[in-house]
């Protein structure tokens, strides 16, 4: 159970936050002062620290440095008011995982905490692994809080090629694809491979923003500009300044909001609601949709000029069915991730499970696959996932294998080994690095498959 230290001088707010996090399964401790907090950090190894940036008895940035000095691996989330975004940015540069502006909703803080803890687990995993060859068969994107398999299928290779091609530019990118294919992951990969990678990546779900609040969400507002505006707020454009703004499900924006977005993109200037001051912004726009925006333009529900502004370069994310060669890579990756998150040690899957995975059509794509694997790992009591723990729709799937009728894990693994050996002119040490296994493991697999090399 993750152990969180809350550092907050507002006792009422601190206790409310502690109570809420406890209900969500976290073990929490509280400190109302910086000296008390440092004392607790010396005595206890906390999984995460949640601290107010403004404390009456201590400088918040100095406290952050003290926390990192005590345990540099502890992720720190700083809480701050919107008027102190500059200080929050300084905190990020000093090693804070992220910041959250008050007032925030319970869901926002829980989501951010989960992201930080996931990032901590995976950074441990990355550090424990040996350096990987850049031309590895099983390449991954590694970001602050995600590790995602690229895949080896032709569709995945094309996707990777497009990401590498467009990332160094400042072109606006429109990402299309079915729900669950990983559009935000691709957007983050573009950001991480660009010159803007040291600045913020801000992701916004346009489908979740009410029309009436979209202007404030995008451009911010000043205190008293409307009912409920109790303090200044930085909008998404300003928060992403210097970095990348990712607008998911952009087709859900109202026509009025589309006009506002277009104007901001054309002028590269914004105004907070209730303010007359123009703020210059320099950011990259990446958008995503699972709708046909061409069709929306023809119907008149999406502005054509905005569409062309957003679609300087387009990338289509293939469905899982289109990248079926990657199935084993994704399953094994999600198994590794589920073991880490659930503190389990499941080694693999039975042949019946692999057959079921191969026959199922995966309408929810990678998101569904990840959920299925995580659920299966949670329900598994032994070393191997059995058919009985899979969801009924997968067990009862009567569809034929989508493709590759001779597809099996052993054949796939043999093929990978042979390709790696050929690529390295049969140098087994280099092939082992390429396959991300030890030399001894490679020899054992060669003997296991009776490969005549």
Pair of tokens at residue 88? 């929050």
Confidence band of 10 (pLDDT split at 50, 70, 90): confident
Q: For residues 434 and 139, give the distance between their C-alpha atoms in angstroms, rounded to a whole number.
A: 10
Mean pLDDT of the chain: 83
Residues 306 and 350 in one domain: no
Q: For residues 406 and 411, give the distance between their C-alpha atoms in angstroms, rounded to a whole number.
A: 8
* Residue 379 pLDDT exceeds 80: yes
Whether residue 53 contacts residue 84, with contact meaning beta carbons closer than 8 Å, is answered with yes
* Residue 239 pLDDT exceeds 70: yes
SS3 141: strand
How, if at all, do strands 384-385 and 348-349 pair? parallel
* Residue 57 pLDDT exceeds 70: yes
Residues 158 and 282 in one domain: yes
**Alpha helices (H) along 364-405:** 365-379, 392-395
How, if at all, do strands 27-31 and 48-52 pair? unpaired
Last residue in a domain, options 72, 94, 128: 128
DSSP 158: H
Over range 324-329, report the average pLDDT. 84
**What CATH number does the domain containing 277 carry?**
3.40.50.300
Whether residue 50 contacts residue 5, with contact meaning beta carbons closer than 8 Å, is answered with yes
Residues 222 and 306 in one domain: yes
Residues 155 and 298 in one domain: yes
The answer to pTM > 0.75 is no
Q: For residues 407 and 419, give the distance between their C-alpha atoms in angstroms, rounded to a whole number.
A: 17
Residues 423 and 374 in one domain: no
**pLDDT attached to residue 142:** 34
Residues 184 and 309 in one domain: yes
Q: Does residue 154 lie within any of the structural domains? A: yes
Q: Does residue 403 lie within any of the structural domains? A: no
Tell me the longest C-alpha to C-alpha distance in the chain.
77
Domain range spanning residue 336?
Answer: 324-395
Last residue in a domain, options 264, 282, 316: 316
Residues 104 and 150 in one domain: no
Pair of tokens at residue 297? 């333009």
Whether residue 99 contacts residue 88, with contact meaning beta carbons closer than 8 Å, is answered with yes
């Amino acid at each position: 159970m993750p152990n969180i230290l809350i550092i907050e001088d507002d006792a009422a707010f601190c206790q409310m936050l502690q109570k809420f996090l406890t209900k969500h399964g976290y073990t929490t401790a509280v400190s109302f002062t910086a000296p008390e907090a440092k004392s607790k950090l010396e005595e206890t190894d906390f999984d995460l620290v949640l601290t107010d940036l403004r404390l009456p008895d201590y400088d918040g940035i100095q406290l952050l440095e003290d926390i990192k000095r005590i345990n540099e691996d502890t992720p720190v989330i700083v809480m701050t008011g919107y008027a102190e975004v500059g200080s929050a940015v300084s905190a990020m540069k000093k090693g804070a995982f992220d910041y959250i502006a008050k007032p925030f909703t319970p869901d926002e803080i829980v989501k951010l905490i989960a992201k930080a803890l996931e990032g901590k687990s995976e950074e441990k995993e990355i550090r424990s692994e040996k350096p990987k060859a850049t031309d590895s068969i099983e390449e991954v994107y590694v970001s602050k809080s995600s590790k995602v398999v690229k895949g080896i299928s032709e569709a995945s290779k094309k996707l990777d090629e497009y990401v590498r091609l467009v990332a160094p530019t400042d072109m606006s990118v429109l990402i299309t694809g079915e729900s669950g294919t990983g559009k935000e992951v691709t957007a983050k990969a573009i950001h991480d491979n660009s010159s803007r990678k040291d600045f913020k990546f801000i992701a916004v779900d346009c489908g979740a923003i009410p029309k009436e609040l979209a202007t404030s969400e995008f451009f911010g507002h000043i205190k008293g500009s409307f009912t409920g505006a109790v303090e200044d707020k930085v909008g998404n454009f300003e928060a992403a300044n210097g970095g990348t703004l990712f607008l998911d499900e952009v087709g859900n924006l109202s026509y009025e909001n589309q006009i506002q977005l277009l104007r901001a993109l054309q002028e590269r200037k914004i105004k907070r609601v209730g303010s007359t001051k123009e703020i210059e912004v320099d950011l990259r726009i990446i958008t995503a949709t699972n709708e046909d925006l061409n069709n929306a333009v023809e119907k008149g529900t999406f502005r054509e000029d905005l569409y062309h502004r957003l679609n300087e370069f387009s990338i289509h994310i293939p469905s899982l069915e289109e990248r079926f060669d990657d199935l084993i890579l994704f399953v094994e990756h999600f198994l590794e991730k589920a073991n880490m998150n659930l503190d389990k040690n499941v080694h693999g899957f039975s042949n019946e499970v692999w057959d079921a995975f191969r026959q199922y059509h995966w309408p929810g794509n990678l998101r569904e696959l990840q959920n299925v694997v995580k659920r299966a790992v949670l329900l598994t009591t032994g070393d191997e996932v059995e058919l009985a723990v899979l969801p009924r729709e997968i067990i009862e799937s009567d569809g034929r294998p989508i493709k590759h009728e001779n597809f099996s894990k052993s054949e796939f693994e043999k093929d990978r080994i042979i390709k790696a050996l050929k690529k390295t002119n049969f140098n087994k040490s280099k092939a082992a690095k390429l396959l991300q296994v030890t030399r001894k493991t490679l020899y054992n697999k060669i003997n296991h498959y009776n490969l005549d090399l």
